[in-house]
Amino acid sequence: MPDSALMAELGRELRRGRMSAGHTQAELADLIRIDRSEVSRAENGKRNLTDTNLKAWCDACRMDYARMAGIARGARGSFPDWFEGWRDDVEAVSARLSYWACVIMPPVIRTEGYIGAVLGAGGTRPAESQVAAQLARASVLDRAEVVTVVHEMALRRFVGSSMIMAEQLDHLASVAEMPSVHVHVVPNCETVPGMSGAISLAHDLGVVHMDGIRGRTTSDPDVFRDAAILFDRIRGHALPRGQSRNMVMEVANQWKT
């Protein structure tokens, strides 16, 4: 989750800079070509600006961009600016979500230990705020209909330690018992499409997020349709819920031994 204190500080600084420059919210929005509501949300600490819009704001208000960018990075937590549209405007409000993960666990079902191992893969220990930001995404499980399809490879891929993997798969098996969550596993014996990267879909909103070096979130109806068809094809290769949970528990026991 974003750092609320830094978000509030960023908002105060942005408002102070705008007012010092003599701009109203509407004038600044027109000047840097963003919606006025974005100006209001940024100043109220409700939304972090993209790097491009923050630079335009600082230029228009004669503010120190380097300093403001530092505050913005701290406020953002563990998520880059290009991901915030999916996290804040889609995943946080959607009532019907689907996730496909072929290499590592889907973010919404990761344990704290697993998150720490993934974020720390480069050798730098993640901050507590970064881990908390990832954990917060699991809140969708309590309010939305969620379908998660995981490749068996993700169950067997070593992340962190054997203990972390065992705890992660025990958690996945527990999540699979929730009535609103459907967990399916694609066994290694199946050749499936979609192995090039993870995808996340908000079916009720018609939005898809595709992983990559810089992930892409789009509501383009043609792209969403193609992604939804791909997800259904992948799910068609997966085991039913009961068999999937049995496989998860079987692999969890293997990690324990």
pLDDT digits (tens, 9 = 90+) for 54-73: 999 999 999 998 888 878 87
Confidence of residue 172 (pLDDT cuts 50, 70, 90): very high
pLDDT digits (tens, 9 = 90+) for 179-195: 999 999 999 988 888 88
pLDDT above 80 for 3: no
What pLDDT was estimated at residue 195? 87
Q: Express as a percent the part of the chain with pLDDT over 70.
A: 93
pLDDT above 90 for 5: no
Find residue 200's DSSP bridge partners.
99, 209
What pLDDT was estimated at residue 77? 59
pTM of the model: 0.70
Identify the residue with better confidence: 254 or 87. 254
Confidence of residue 82 (pLDDT cuts 50, 70, 90): very low
Total Cβ atoms within 10 A of residue 200 = 26
Rounded-to-integer distance, Cα 110 and Cα 98, Å = 15
Rounded-to-integer distance, Cα 246 and Cα 201, Å = 26
pLDDT above 80 for 129: no
CB distance 127 to 76 below 8 Å: no
